[in-house]
Structure 1
Amino acid sequence: MSRWNISSIFFLGEGGRVRILDLKLGEVNIITGASGTGKSTLIKAIDYCLGSKVCELAAHVKRHSIAVGVKWVLGDAQMITGRVIPPLGQDTSTKMFVSSGRNLPIPTSLTEFEGATTLQAGKSFIERAFGIGGVADASNESSARKWRPTVRHATAYMFVPKDVIYNETALLHGLDQADEAPAIIETMPYFLGVVTQDTVIQERRLRDLRKRLDREERQLRVRQAEGSDYKKHAMRLLMDAHRCGLCDLPPDDASETDLQDALLRVKRLKIDRSGQNPNESELSSLHTQRRSLLSDIENARRSSRATQAALQEMTGFEGAVRRQYEKLKIAEHLQPVAHACPLCETPSERGIAAAQAIRQSMKIVRSESVAVENVRPRLVDHEGSLQLELARLNEKLKGVDERIKTWIRQSDEAKEMDDLAQYHAHLMGKVSQFLEMNPATPLPGPDLDVLREQIEELEALIDNDAKHVLLTRAERKVSQYLSDAFASLPTVEPCIEADLEFSSKPPAIAIIEKDTETVLRLPDAGSDENYLAIHIALSFALQKYLGMIKAPVPGFLVFDQISRPYYPQRGEDEASIGENEEVLAMRRHLDFLFKATAEQNDLQVLLIEHAYFGDDPRYVAATRMRWNKLSGDALIPLDWPKRESSL
């Protein structure tokens, strides 16, 4: 045997009570029984023993059992995984037992369990036994550890519970859970043998680094936009210090770092108590400069208004000239006549003179139009120059106004001080406070070049082209197995004799109709019978491919109630089954299960069912437990006492 199978599932109760369900390796195993006997709990029990976060066992099981375990077998190797069952009202238990060896006995009490450990350590033990990972996870990043392949992702290829087997959207167990689906999708290339665990972690880290780079670049742009406020406040403080003789005024294009250095130098200065108050003549000079600027601005505005008026008048004049020219074009009709009237052909010197006069007027009008066209571009250029000059003068005026405001504020503050030294101390206090509130401006974010180098290094390690080729090959193989299996199962339109194509990201099935070659999505199948056939075929196709590549997934499949589309309201024994179309369809499913299981090496199937086919020798031989209401038998016997914590 080359793949892990389950030999036993067992429950422990009070007083040394033990319930053991033995399964045969590499075969179909069937558990049948009435509703409420605990059949569906078996999937949850196996899942719980593989490290699920929440114990979803039925209330009756929690009240009457104290522990559950699963015995796994791989050739001579054995492994027992067990969990303490929490009392009703408690979600889970972090206490786990994992042991491995040969000829392991099934414990009959908690004290006989070996390998007590934590939940996380227990899952790591199971992963090493299954072969998941292959290399130690040396990453310290929580995001990388979060997305590495685990035993929790492997359950997607083993469990087909009733909430999945007829699902119209979710193909695999866990894909309908928002918190589990992303990791299952992320690690699917690993389980399909396309990438290693290292590659999965590197791809996850690459995505995280790209997101981080985008975030840091956005934050850098925000800091650069906010830097103008820092620069404005820093310049005000330095202008105050300059007027008091504490520093030189920095240039207008000084960077934030230069301004910060200048403020730090001001902060370290010693106060000179012999200094003088700011020069009063500076304010007068600023006002004079402001009046001059206002005069220049007004002159420029008048010139602009005159230029705009000239352009407007020129436009009207040009229209009048054009209309006049059009009227005078009648002279062109008089051109052919020489010395005769065009009406009576009588010689006429007067007509010739009139035609010449009109042509002369046309020349004058045409020259005026040309003059307008020559002058217009110069006026337009002149207007543009005036607007640029106005913008420059207004910007300069703003600077002068800012300096006047700063001078007045500084002067008012200086008057409130006893002497200049006190003002110096006040100013330096403001500088210190500003620097403390802005300790590092611009804020020293991460080195984006380092991030870019890390991204480039990871991109060089990940061969996306090779990965794409291998993933496509794996999907093609699975699709081939899937279509072959699907052809053996009962279906209805539009899936009769259809081909199926499997894609891994996102996990999806394309249904290709036989005659029309129309490509349909999974929701288009439209029938529980079709969904059932698709999920069964996909489960066996994936297991066949996983077995072929020796993937770290146990050779184990469990199906919960595949007969529901055929017997939704029927009883559970053979007396309730008549030979009709539904029974024939169900028998085709059973034929496929037995045949497909036999064809795959070391594949074990557990079928949980209501229906019982007593006339099928294979079904009878494969039935390990048959519970019904008349016998009172169930997964947890009804005579088991309640656990002490539930009394």
Structure 2
Amino acid sequence: MSFYIKKVQLWFKRNVSPVSYEFKPNRVNVITGDSSTGKSSILRIIDYCLLSGQPMIVENVINENVKYYGISFSLNEHDYVIVRSAPNIQTATEQLLFEERTGFPDTIATNMSRGEALEKMNSLFGYYPLTFKMGRKKEMTNFRHMLLFNYLTEDIIGTLNTYLDTRFFDDINYEKLTDELFKQAIGMDEIGEASLKDEIKKITTQISRNTTNKNKYDKEFSKYQTNVEKLIQEAKTLNIDFSIEKSSDIQEQCNKLKAELAIINKNAEKSRLLLDNELRRNQTELQNLKNRLAPYDSILRSYQRNANNLKKQDDSLKTLDYLEQHFSEMLLWDESRQLFDALSKAQSEIKQALEEIADTPKLPNEFEQERLSLNKQIIATEEKIKSLQEQMKQSFDLILFKKAWRLVWDLQNLKEPKNECLSPTQLTDINDKLYNKQQLLLEKENSNSRALTQLNDCILTYYTAQHGISNTYNSSIPKYNIERQSLELFNPDNETRPIKNIGSKSNYMFLHLCFFMGLHEQLLNIGSEVPDFLFIDQPSIPYYENMKKEGDGKNLMTDDAEKLKYAFSLINIFMDRINRKEKSFQIIMVEHAEPSYWENLNYFETRYEFRNGNALIPQSINNLK
């Protein structure tokens, strides 16, 4: 970025010609003069023209005489002008003139609002805004926040611990955002670093979640495979053959099994009907056979009963036969002999009757054959009935049928676990992405670390070159503390604890110069968004009391005079280093001291002296009121 202020112009309320103050690039443009001549107001006018919303221009003498404030500047080899009406009771005007042109127009006509101008300046400066929260509201920074690093004001140049004048801007946001603005300025991209860390966290979380999902999926899939195998084995016990190799096979096998079961059920119904009819026919046949066999059995029983009775009678006569055979051996009474004779007679009659009965014809052979045939038919029919009943039972085995439908149910509820894991290709890609992000983060962290190291190296360059700080601290090492926004000195043998106080304002003035010179060299090295411009307000502040005693800077005490010359010489060294790097930079410095303090420094040029009646507002105009 190449930025420098070409001209500051004031238009007055009275009908007099405008007053212009011109400045050169690659120079230390000095405005020197007495106190109360408006030197420091130059910075406030520049800041107001650079779109400040909180004007700090002195009302008395300056604001009361000026109608318009204008600034002409060059930015990246293009010329622009901004003109604003003077603030009304410290209130900035919202409308202004902003044009790309070489000189100021003859007639001032506003063409945009301050908000529009800020947006345009952001674009011209290539400024990348930061977004931050202020309470519940979100705010955005703009290019003006970078001006914090362009103003070394009289309020801070000799202070102990203040290196950035946030109060100058009269905006609490500057105070709260100083750390982030500083990091942004010197190229510490902590927002980018945080963003990378967040991305890495998301990627590692994704990989971790994938690992968890993979373990869960593997476990569920193993269980799923076990269930599949179990169902296949169950199907085999039912004489059903199927296989499941992929998720889509499940529904296909369910449909197939349902169809088979429907066919089995249909066939079973048909089979049961046929068997039932056959069973009924055989049961009827069995009854018929039994009915036919009944008479045969009845006759046979009667025949056998008669035969048994005859046999019993025959057995009873054997006693009489025995008595008859041995009668002669027996000694009987007359009554006994008479009884025996009667029995013998009866025996003869019975034997005759038995002989007559014995002559009765036997049952015919056909009778027994028919009876046996009927018995065989009955036994065969009973066996057939038993077989038919078994067939009916087998034709519809309720237990097997329930098992089959249970198999269908289990198949329907069998779901292959959803694989939400990354594919090997995706996992490779995401691991590559993680590695790349980690490398970018490492580079970013190193870059952020280097940014502060490089800044401190630049500051050390000027600290080594200066001769104004007390000799006690010559070997000290300066390091900038971002959290405290302070340049701290460390003893070489103890770089953990800074030196708390280095004494005089003169020492701190030199530290401020070393900081700003080192800061801007680093900003130029990295091509920062901060304009390559610096306003320095009175390095002679530490010696001001002595100046008043000696006549407003003409005859400073030798030691103070030497130190002030060292300060100007350090600024000149900075300009020389920048130009040797073929870069451009502009400094505008206001001073109390006489030009003799810098007249031998090649980059210094006294642009205006506000002495002997000369002032920012010419005495001739001020006297008109």
Question: What is the TM-score when the length of structure 2 is the normalising length?
Answer: 0.55
Name the aligned partner's letter for residue 115 of structure 2: Q
Choose the corresponding residue for 1:559, options 523, 536, 543.
Answer: 536
Any conservation in 2 of the 1:511–1:519 contact (CA below 8 Å)? Answer: no
Change (3 A) 1:575 1:47: closer
> Deviation per CA, 1:201-238, whole angstroms, max 9, x where unpaired?
969x99xxxxxxxxxxxxxxxxxxxxxxxxxxxxxxxx
Structure 2, unaligned runs of 5 or more: 200-435
Q: Identity over aligned residues, as a percent? A: 18
CA positional deviation for 1:54: 1.2
Name the aligned partner's letter for residue 580 of structure 1: T
Q: State whether structure 2 residue 160 is matched by structure 1 residue 168.
A: yes
CA positional deviation for 1:610: 0.3
Change (3 A) 1:542 1:63: same
Any conservation in 1 of the 2:6–2:22 contact (CA below 8 Å)? Answer: yes
Choose the corresponding residue for 2:150, options 149, 153, 158.
Answer: 158
> In the alignment, what sits opposite 2:92?
92
* Counterpart-to-counterpart distance in 1, 2:193 and 2:182: 10
CA positional deviation for 1:143: 7.9
Any conservation in 2 of the 1:160–1:172 contact (CA below 8 Å)? Answer: yes
> Deviation per CA, 1:90-109, whole angstroms, max 9, x where unpaired?
432222322224xx212455
Q: State whether structure 2 residue 607 is matched by structure 1 residue 624.
A: yes
* Counterpart-to-counterpart distance in 2, 1:141 and 1:502: 27
Change (3 A) 1:626 1:25: same
Q: State whether structure 2 residue 111 is matched by structure 1 residue 129.
A: no
Name the aligned partner's letter for residue 72 of structure 1: F
CA positional deviation for 1:16: 4.9
Name the aligned partner's letter for residue 573 of structure 2: K
CA positional deviation for 1:512: 1.0
* Counterpart-to-counterpart distance in 1, 2:465 and 2:133: 47
Any conservation in 2 of the 1:50–1:151 contact (CA below 8 Å)? Answer: no
> Helix, strand or coil for the counterpart of 1:568?
helix
Name the aligned partner's letter for residue 173 of structure 1: D
> In the alignment, what sits opposite 2:103?
105
Aligned residue runs from structure 1 range 291-370, under 5 A: none
* Counterpart-to-counterpart distance in 1, 2:622 and 2:526: 47
> Helix, strand or coil for the counterpart of 2:29?
strand
CA positional deviation for 1:518: 5.6
* Counterpart-to-counterpart distance in 1, 2:195 and 2:19: 45
CA positional deviation for 1:606: 1.1
CA positional deviation for 1:161: 0.4
Choose the corresponding residue for 1:187, options 171, 181, 204.
Answer: 181
> In the alignment, what sits opposite 1:340?
none
Change (3 A) 1:469 1:146: farther
CA positional deviation for 1:32: 0.3
* Counterpart-to-counterpart distance in 2, 1:85 and 1:522: 46
Change (3 A) 1:527 1:53: same
Could you tell which deviates more after superposition, 616-625 or 483-492?
616-625
* Counterpart-to-counterpart distance in 2, 1:150 and 1:640: 37
> In the alignment, what sits opposite 2:74?
73
Change (3 A) 1:565 1:615: closer
CA positional deviation for 1:586: 0.9
* Counterpart-to-counterpart distance in 2, 1:110 and 1:200: 47
Choose the corresponding residue for 2:447, options 464, 470, 478.
Answer: 470
* Counterpart-to-counterpart distance in 2, 1:7 and 1:80: 10
Aligned residue runs from structure 1 range 556-635, under 5 A: 556-571=533-548, 576-578=554-556, 580-600=558-578, 601-614=583-596, 616-618=598-600, 622-628=605-611, 631-635=612-616
> In the alignment, what sits opposite 1:399?
none
Name the aligned partner's letter for residue 638 of structure 1: Q
CA positional deviation for 1:125: 1.3
* Counterpart-to-counterpart distance in 1, 2:193 and 2:587: 30
Aligned length: 378
Name the aligned partner's letter for residue 103 of structure 2: P
* Counterpart-to-counterpart distance in 2, 1:200 and 1:151: 22
* Counterpart-to-counterpart distance in 1, 2:465 and 2:153: 22
Change (3 A) 1:140 1:597: closer
CA positional deviation for 1:540: 1.0
> Deviation per CA, 1:424-446, whole angstroms, max 9, x where unpaired?
xxxxxxxxxxxxxxxxxxxxxxx
* Counterpart-to-counterpart distance in 2, 1:200 and 1:157: 23
Q: State whether structure 2 residue 510 is matched by structure 1 residue 530.
A: no
Aligned residue runs from structure 1 range 443-454, under 5 A: none
> Deviation per CA, 1:453-505, whole angstroms, max 9, x where unpaired?
xxxxxxx9997655432221000000001011012221126533311112434
> Helix, strand or coil for the counterpart of 1:164?
coil
> In the alignment, what sits opposite 1:451?
none
* Counterpart-to-counterpart distance in 2, 1:596 and 1:521: 26
> Helix, strand or coil for the counterpart of 1:589?
helix
Any conservation in 2 of the 1:187–1:200 contact (CA below 8 Å)? Answer: no
> In the alignment, what sits opposite 1:26?
26
* Counterpart-to-counterpart distance in 2, 1:637 and 1:615: 26
* Counterpart-to-counterpart distance in 2, 1:607 and 1:471: 32
Any conservation in 2 of the 1:12–1:108 contact (CA below 8 Å)? Answer: no
> Helix, strand or coil for the counterpart of 2:100?
strand
Any conservation in 2 of the 1:147–1:186 contact (CA below 8 Å)? Answer: no
Name the aligned partner's letter for residue 527 of structure 2: K
Any conservation in 2 of the 1:18–1:108 contact (CA below 8 Å)? Answer: no
* Counterpart-to-counterpart distance in 2, 1:40 and 1:155: 16
Change (3 A) 1:77 1:471: same
Change (3 A) 1:41 1:108: farther
Question: What is the TM-score when the length of structure 1 is the normalising length?
Answer: 0.53
Q: Please give the root-mean-square deviation of Cα atoms over the aligned residues, in Å.
A: 3.6
Could you tell which deviates more after superposition, 471-480 or 605-614?
605-614
> Helix, strand or coil for the counterpart of 2:449?
helix
Any conservation in 2 of the 1:613–1:619 contact (CA below 8 Å)? Answer: no
> Deviation per CA, 1:326-362, whole angstroms, max 9, x where unpaired?
xxxxxxxxxxxxxxxxxxxxxxxxxxxxxxxxxxxxx
> Helix, strand or coil for the counterpart of 1:633?
coil
CA positional deviation for 1:140: 12
